[in-house]
């Protein structure tokens, strides 16, 4: 795999249980690249994302994410792979009974952070990156939907990942807020992280053109800049 390629799939068959969802999947994403993953509901977008973070095993074909060979990965290496990844969800998945800072501390403790001062410094740093430096003491229900998604992005950035995977990150947001979130994700890609955004919102693609990877009829149909 070339040095600047952070994700590479070669002729991968992607299964959900016994069912073949995507066949002969081949594509690559480079360090610092922003790309969209598009396709109708049920076309395989989420299955592809799950394959990237090793939630679905690769039974046929070859794939590498960062320096992990997915078709050979062992179970005890999966947590180390996932530290290279930041995942942003459509429904935010924040802990509603905790403050923003406590949500971030929860992730840090789960991934091995122990020094409280370093944890506080890192929380402040990522909240500043997403424009929420004054909101750490608030609970999710005191924030707008867009702010909650920014917390989700801050959480994804905690362990300084090489790759951000965003699964319909604007699905629960109004159009203007959606544009703000995609602009933030594009800015993150310019800092050297690969960002892959699964979406079916073509307004985002027209507003912020970028490379497209499309799931259709059980395969990756194109990975150019066309939207059709």
User: What's the pLDDT at 228?
Assistant: 38
User: What's the pLDDT at 130?
Assistant: 95
Sign of CA dihedral 125, 129, 131, 132: negative
Tell me whether residue 214 is in a domain.
Answer: no
Domain region containing 101: 90-160
Pairing mode of beta strands 163-167, 68-69: unpaired
Q: Is the confidence at residue 94, as pLDDT, over 50?
A: yes
Q: Give the whole-number percent of the chain exceeding pLDDT 70.
A: 96
98 CB neighbour count, 10 Å cutoff: 14
- For the chain, give the secondary structure using H, E and C: CCCCEEEEEEEEEEEECCEEEEEEEEEEEECCCEEEEECCCCCCHHHHHHHHCCCCCCCEEEEEECCEEHHHCCHHHHHHHHHCEEEECCCCCCCCCCCHHHHHHHHHHHCCCCCHHHHHHHHHHHHHHCCCCCCCCCCHHHCCHHHHHHHHHHHHHCCCCCEEEEECCCCCCCHHHHHHHHHHHHHHHHCCCEEEEECCCHHHHHHCCCEEEEEECCEEEECCCCCC
> Is the distance from CB of 70 to CB of 42 less than 8 angstroms?
no
User: What's the pLDDT at 226?
Assistant: 40
User: What's the pLDDT at 91?
Assistant: 86
Tell me whether residue 140 is in a domain.
Answer: yes
Tell me whether residue 68 is in a domain.
Answer: no
Number of domains in the chain: 1
Tell me whether residue 24 is in a domain.
Answer: no
Residues 176-228 have pLDDT tens digits of: 999 999 999 999 999 999 999 999 899 999 999 999 999 999 998 765 544 33
Residues 144-161 have pLDDT tens digits of: 999 999 999 999 999 999
Tell me whether residue 116 is in a domain.
Answer: yes
Tell me whether residue 154 is in a domain.
Answer: yes
Q: Report d(CA 20, CA 213) in Å as an integer.
A: 19
Tell me whether residue 60 is in a domain.
Answer: no
The whole model's pTM is what? 0.92
User: What's the pLDDT at 139?
Assistant: 96
Can you tell me which residue has the tokens 């959900």? 16
Q: Give the whole-number percent of the chain exceeding pLDDT 90.
A: 82
User: What's the pLDDT at 18?
Assistant: 86
Tell me whether residue 39 is in a domain.
Answer: no
Average of pLDDT values for 108-133? 94
3 — pLDDT class (breaks 50, 70, 90): low
Burial string for 17-35 (b: 16+ CB within 10 Å, else e) reads: eeeebbbebebbbebbbbb
List the structure tokens of 194.
């690969």
């Amino acid at each position: 795999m070339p040095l600047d390629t952070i994700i590479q799939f070669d002729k991968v068959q992607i299964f959900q249980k016994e069912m073949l969802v995507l066949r002969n999947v081949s594509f690559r994403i480079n360090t610092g690249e922003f790309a969209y993953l598009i396709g109708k509901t049920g076309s395989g977008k989420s299955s592809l994302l799950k394959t990237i973070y090793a939630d679905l095993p690769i039974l046929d074909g070859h794939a590498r994410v960062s320096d992990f060979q997915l078709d050979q990965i062992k179970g005890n290496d999966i947590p180390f792979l996932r530290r290279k990844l930041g995942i942003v969800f459509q429904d935010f998945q924040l802990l509603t009974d905790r403050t923003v800072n406590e949500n971030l501390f929860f992730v840090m403790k789960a991934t091995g952070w122990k020094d409280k001062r370093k944890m506080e410094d890192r929380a402040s740093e990522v909240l500043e990156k997403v424009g929420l430096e004054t909101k750490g003491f608030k609970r999710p229900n005191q924030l707008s939907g867009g702010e909650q998604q920014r917390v989700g992005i801050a959480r994804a950035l905690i362990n300084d990942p090489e790759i951000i995977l965003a699964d319909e990150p604007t699905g629960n947001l109004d159009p203007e807020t959606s544009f703000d979130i995609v602009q933030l994700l594009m800015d993150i890609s310019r800092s050297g992280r690969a960002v892959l955004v699964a979406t079916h919102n073509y307004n985002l693609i027209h507003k912020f053109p970028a490379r497209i990877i499309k799931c259709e009829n059980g395969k990756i149909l194109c990975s150019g800049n066309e939207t059709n």
